[in-house]
Amino acid sequence: MSLTARALLLDMDGTLVNSDAVVERYWRIWAAEQGLDPEQVLKVVHGRQGHATMAALLPDRPVERNLADNRWMLERETTDLDGVVPVPGAAAFMAALAALPHALVTSADEALARARMGAAGLPMPEVRVTAERVGASKPDPEGFLKGAAELGFAPADCVVFEDSEAGIAAGRAAGMRVVGIGPRAGAHAPDAHVRDLEQVRIEALPDGTMRLHFSG
């Protein structure tokens, strides 16, 4: 199977970087403090900004408390990089994209994105849409639409790479095709689905577009 695109919009956690160990460590602590079942909480944390997840889990909780807990979590996750590794194939994938239009669109803030991409040994894309730059978290399409606009391409010309339900929904809402990465993505009917980035090959075409080849 293959797709053609003029630009790629890349999620980070679960797509380029495997940070599950850190994410789960701190969400388990938070869930226990709130009297919530950690296993149920972990089913919904991926893809969203932390405060948005907290609001979904505890809808009557004051926004200020969610924002404060979100700051606490970001501070710890930014300095705790134990277990943060690249998704298989991520280094070669990013190298193949180096001269092609692409952007990072992540629910992490700039500091956390830099820390995790650095820990995984991956280059930071020049165009980045991080948590500080959007008013609404995924599954809202704002981040992907902003990334496409900064790259100068229409949404229909962009392909999103995502691992989570919220991220896949955001890509779809933006009017983009979505490649699902990893086990979480398969249940949400992306346009293409691969185990990891080792199953993706990028071919630059003479007209400036790229063809994405998927194996496996």
Question: Which residue numbers are catalytic?
Answer: 11, 13
* Cα gap 147→128, rounded to integer Å: 7
* Cα gap 146→208, rounded to integer Å: 21
Contact 130, 108 (CB under 8 A): yes
| Helices and strands, number each (H, E), in the chain | 8, 11
Q: Is the dihedral of CA 180, 71, 128, 83 positive or negative?
A: negative
Closest CA relative to residue 94, chosen from 70, 69, 120 = 120
* Cα gap 44→108, rounded to integer Å: 16
Cα Rg of the chain, angstroms: 17
Does residue 139 have a cis bond before it (omega within 30 degrees)?
Answer: yes
Residue with tokens 């629910």: 107
